[in-house]
Amino acid sequence: MNVKRPLPVTIIAWLYIAVGALALVTHTSAHGLRHPIASDYVWVAITELAAIAIGVLLLYGRGWARWLALLWMGFHVVVSWPVVSRLVIHSIFLAVLAYFLFRPGSQKYFPSQPDAGPY
């Protein structure tokens, strides 16, 4: 059964892909060439690659990718803790993601079977 992907899911997925890709390019060009194996750079690159993967998995309708998307943003809420403005913005993003990825229209797109997708 093909279920049309809801527009909010498409927007969120492409935002994850764009943010991950732009951040990866930015951090690589700024830091990667001088210190390619610095431990903080490696962790930053992993989170950026994770964002890209989450976006792709959301486009393919993997239900568990919704949880990864929330986990990824929740991680950013935690690491934003010392800076109140970042904490507030990331918390708002987390709430918006939860709303749009788990509302009834979106739940129809994501199957209840773990490995099944709409395609």
| Residue-wise pLDDT tens digits, 50-88 | 999 999 999 999 999 999 999 999 999 999 989 999 999
pTM (two decimals): 0.86
Q: Which amino acid is at 117?
A: G
48 close to 14: Cβ distance less than 8 angstroms: no
Number of helical (H) and strand (E) elements in the chain, helices listed first: 5, 0
Instruction: Provide the pLDDT confidence category of residue 40 given band limits of 50, 70 and 90.
Output: confident
33: helix, strand or coil: coil
- Domain extent listing, the chain: 7-109
60 close to 3: Cβ distance less than 8 angstroms: no
